Amino acid sequence: MKDKLFDRLVKRGTLVVSIGEREQGRYGSGEPVAHVHLKDRRVIARLLSDPEMAFGEAYVDGDWWPGRGGLAKVFELYFANAEHIGGSRLMSLARRALRGLTEVNGKLRSARNVAHHYDIDNDMFQRFLDPEMQYSCAYWSQPGMTLDDAQLAKLAHIARKLNLSPGDKVLDIGCGWGGMALYLARHYDVEVVGLTLSDDQYAHAIKRAEALGLSHRVTFVKQDYRDHRGAYDAIVSVGMFEHVGRPQYQTFFDQVSRLLKPDGRSLIHTIGRNGPPPANSRTWIQKHIFPGGYIPSLSEISPCVETSGLVLADLEVWRRHYAETLKAWNTRFQAQRELFSRRLGERFCRMWEFYLLGCEAVFRYGDLIVFHVQISHANEAVPITRDYLYENDTARPSAMVASRERALDSVG
């Protein structure tokens, strides 16, 4: 039975299946070649019983593991055969298990969801992220960039889209460890309020602001965005919208509309998808990595923007940038794996490997992208062309290296 199943699924590339250390069969031919070792025959039944959840959980449990080529080749082989196996319940997991689904994220649930992922271990995040602690897609705008350069390029690109003037008041919804807020205050002479629900991120952000001498211009608040009040010249949100939950989309954009001044600008940086919504079932990534997460399509965002009274001023789509970011994160994660295994456990490391490599594969071969949704109340709030994004571009990575080094030296 398993031979017929594998023969049907593998039309491009080669799948080599072993049980224990003994090879049981080769299916397909050519590249890519993925090697999968099963602990015993019972693993096959486990995978078939609940593939969306069991594929990742069995890997974390050590019931299966990749051979030569590693886990990345397993995901590559899947996407090489996606057109043949798209309807297969067994293999639809790579599209579905690595996406979240709709959650009704009330304020208490939102706080719990944030703590589940972001309050794991600040030191772990510091060891595989860049110095600005950017846990979102980097902008690989030039050949030969490092992760640090690409994250600085992302900060600079977003900052230019906000079209800031000295003295502007800026709100950062979902500020994380404070990197964006501190960057804006440091380079644009603006006042920034950053909102987070994470205890660890809040403490780290305040410490960084003090170390950089920016506490007088940057205020971090542990608060749900729905409770915030104020009036802002610019609102930015990077990597937070994925946690809002589809039922709260209208609430989110209504709140942005209330907080944004009549001539204000807002930039929402979020993962998006080019495909249909995921099946309404609990998924691996939602259970183990991002509870309450949901990846939007543009068709789910646009009606809420329009209803809120905002104007869609510009839209940019980043393709493959997140694949390169996740690859860089995993490289750094693997460099520290022995330490992470001692501190957080081997199961934790396998879970994060599956998460990082699986998500890289979906961005590289699948239908996930990144949206830059630029919105405002008035058409004239944003320049008529994109030329302003690239004129007098002194904040490109090569020009920011010295600034970055000074900032790191001041933090110690």
What would the two tokens of residue 336 be?
């520290």
Which residues are within 8 A (CB) of 50 and not within 5 positions of it... i.e. 6 or more apart?
Answer: none
pLDDT over 60 at 96, yes or no:
no
Phi, psi of 350 (to 5 degrees): -65, -40
Check 137, 175, 349, 359 and give the catalytic one.
359
Weakest-pLDDT range from 18-22, 167-171, 287-291? 287-291
- pLDDT tier, 37 (very low <50, low <70, confident <90, very high otherwise): very high
- pLDDT tier, 10 (very low <50, low <70, confident <90, very high otherwise): confident
Q: Which residue has the higher pLDDT, 245 or 374?
A: 374
Q: How many helices (H) and strands (E) does the chain have?
A: 18, 11
pLDDT over 90 at 189, yes or no:
yes
Beta bridge pairs of residue 192: 170, 218
- pLDDT tier, 98 (very low <50, low <70, confident <90, very high otherwise): very low
Q: Which residue has the higher pLDDT, 107 or 64?
A: 64
Weakest-pLDDT range from 1-10, 35-44, 109-118, 156-165? 109-118
- pLDDT tier, 46 (very low <50, low <70, confident <90, very high otherwise): confident
| H helical segments located in 97-178 | 107-118, 122-128, 147-162
CB atoms within 10 A of CB 384: 8
- Percent pLDDT > 90 in the chain is 65
Q: Pairing mode, if any, of strands 232-238 and 218-222?
A: unpaired
pLDDT over 60 at 400, yes or no:
no
Q: Which residue has the higher pLDDT, 92 or 138?
A: 138
What is the model's pLDDT at position 93? 46
pLDDT over 90 at 193, yes or no:
yes
- pLDDT tier, 251 (very low <50, low <70, confident <90, very high otherwise): very high
What is the model's pLDDT at position 112? 54
* Residue 272, CA distances (Å) to 240, 297, 379 in order: 12, 5, 24
- pLDDT tier, 376 (very low <50, low <70, confident <90, very high otherwise): very high
**CA distance linking residue 217 with residue 362, whole number of Å:** 39
**CA distance linking residue 373 with residue 238, whole number of Å:** 11
Weakest-pLDDT range from 10-24, 129-143, 221-235? 10-24
**Domains of the chain (ranges plus CATH)?**
2-96 (no CATH), 107-411 (3.40.50.150)
pLDDT over 60 at 384, yes or no:
yes
pLDDT over 60 at 284, yes or no:
yes
Per-residue pLDDT averaged across 388-407, rounded? Answer: 54
pLDDT over 50 at 249, yes or no:
yes
359: annotated active-site residue: yes
What is the model's pLDDT at position 401? 43
pLDDT in tens, 335-352: 999 999 999 999 999 999
What is the model's pLDDT at position 100? 43
What is the side-by-side strand order in the sheet with 64-66? 22-29, 13-19, 33-38, 64-66
Per-residue pLDDT averaged across 266-281, rounded? Answer: 82
Average pLDDT, the chain: 85
What is the model's pLDDT at position 351? 92
**CA distance linking residue 100 with residue 106, whole number of Å:** 17
Per-residue pLDDT averaged across 189-212, rounded? Answer: 96
Q: For residue 66, say if its preceding peptide bond is cis, omega within 30 degrees of 0.
A: no
**CA distance linking residue 146 with residue 404, whole number of Å:** 14
Q: Are 283 and 335 in contact (CB under 8 A)?
A: no
Weakest-pLDDT range from 57-71, 134-148, 364-378? 57-71
pLDDT over 80 at 174, yes or no:
yes
What would the two tokens of residue 381 be?
């709030």
Q: SS3 for 348-395, per residue?
A: HHHHHHHHHHHHHHHHHHCCEEEEEEEEECCHHHCCCCCHHHCCCCCC
What is the model's pLDDT at position 128? 94
Q: At CA 229, angle to CA 302 and CA 255, rounded to 5?
A: 10
Residue 373: which of 283, 286, 294, 300 has the closest Cα?
A: 300
Residue located via tokens 């542990």: 222
Q: Burial, 405: exposed, middle or buried (Cβ in 10 Å; 0-12, 13-18, 19+)?
A: exposed
What is the model's pLDDT at position 42? 87
Per-residue pLDDT averaged across 213-235, rounded? Answer: 98
